[in-house]
């Protein structure tokens, strides 16, 4: 068997590819977010110790295997914690953007649907949340090939509904319900992105906002 050429140059992005991605990712709330909510429900049921020194990564890492457990095994994607986005990586020695959680398409692993998580100590502590939406998602540094992605708030106090109201005020954009039948604390906002010159990335972007409540969280502070 001949050796594989692992260092083939990256191919230019075909605009038709971006259109195809949009078709694959139709209704991510049904295909992807339901898995996240199932994983969250299981996490709340299991009540594992969560490292209080690094809450954001600790919670995301615990969610990943529970998302995987909720999958049938026949999905055209897999879930991953700490996924790197190499499409928008700057020249070395820069590090590529890294997602807290992501769904990666098996047919073309350049296609990544990311969920960027932020710990919300209170419903109004939204500076980091707002920053990542504006300067990561809406600049196409995050989710370059997809017309949507998700911001996830790990809420430590207050209510999810209050957090969603505060998010709408902070980002200056109305949050809409995904469906009239939706009972989860999740909303969407619509945006126009700043697409880099000569890139065929989608300009219209839908951000999904999920608030996962962790009030009364038991934090493991690690070895003493």
Of 147, 125, 161, 164, nearest to 204 by C-alpha is: 147
Note the pLDDT of residue 221.
Answer: 64
Structure tokens at 31: 């295909």
Q: For 188-206, write each residue's pLDDT tens digit.
A: 999 999 999 999 899 999 9
Q: For 134-174, write each residue's pLDDT tens digit.
A: 999 999 999 999 999 999 999 999 999 999 999 999 999 99
For 85-111, b/e burial (b = at least 16 CB within 10 A) is bebbeeeeeeeebebbbbbbbeeeebb
Note the pLDDT of residue 32.
Answer: 95
Q: For 14-71, write each residue's pLDDT tens digit.
A: 778 777 887 778 889 888 999 999 999 999 999 998 998 999 999 999 999 999 999 9
Q: Is the pLDDT of residue 9 over 70?
A: no
Q: What is the pTM (predicted TM-score) of this model?
A: 0.92
Q: Is the peptide bond before 93 cis (omega within 30 degrees of 0)?
A: yes
Do 77 and 106 meet the contact criterion of CB atoms below 8 Å apart? yes
Beta-carbon count within 10 A of 20 CB: 15
Note the pLDDT of residue 8.
Answer: 61
Note the pLDDT of residue 223.
Answer: 59
* pLDDT tier at 13, thresholds 50, 70, 90: confident
For 92-154, give the DSSP string.
Answer: TTSPPPEEEEEEEESS-TT-EEEEEEEEESSTT--HHHHHHIIIIITTTSSSTT-SEEEEEEE
Structure tokens at 47: 């009540």
Q: For 93-144, write each residue's pLDDT tens digit.
A: 999 999 999 999 988 888 999 999 999 999 999 999 999 999 999 999 999 9
Note the pLDDT of residue 222.
Answer: 60
Strand partners, 78: 104
Q: What DSSP state is assigned to residue 29? A: I
């Amino acid at each position: 068997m001949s050796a594989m050429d692992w260092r083939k140059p990256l191919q230019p992005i075909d605009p038709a590819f971006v259109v195809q991605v949009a078709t694959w990712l139709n209704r991510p709330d049904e295909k992807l977010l339901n898995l996240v909510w199932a994983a969250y429900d299981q996490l709340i049921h299991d009540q594992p110790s969560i490292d209080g020194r690094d809450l954001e990564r600790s919670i995301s890492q615990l969610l990943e295997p529970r998302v995987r457990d909720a999958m049938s095994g026949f999905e055209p994607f897999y879930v991953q914690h700490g996924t790197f986005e190499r499409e928008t990586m700057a020249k070395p020695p820069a590090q590529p953007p890294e997602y807290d959680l992501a769904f990666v398409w098996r047919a073309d692993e350049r296609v990544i649907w990311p969920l960027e998580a932020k710990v919300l100590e209170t419903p109004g502590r939204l500076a980091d949340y707002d920053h990542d939406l504006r300067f990561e998602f809406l600049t196409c540094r995050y989710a370059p090939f997809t017309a949507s992605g998700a911001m996830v708030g790990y809420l430590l106090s207050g209510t999810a509904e209050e957090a969603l109201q505060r998010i709408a005020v902070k980002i200056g954009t109305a949050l809409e319900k995904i469906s009239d039948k939706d009972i989860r604390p999740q909303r969407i906002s619509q945006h126009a992105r700043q697409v880099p010159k000569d890139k065929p990335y989608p300009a219209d972007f839908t951000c999904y906002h999920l608030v996962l409540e962790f009030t009364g969280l038991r934090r493991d502070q690690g070895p003493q």
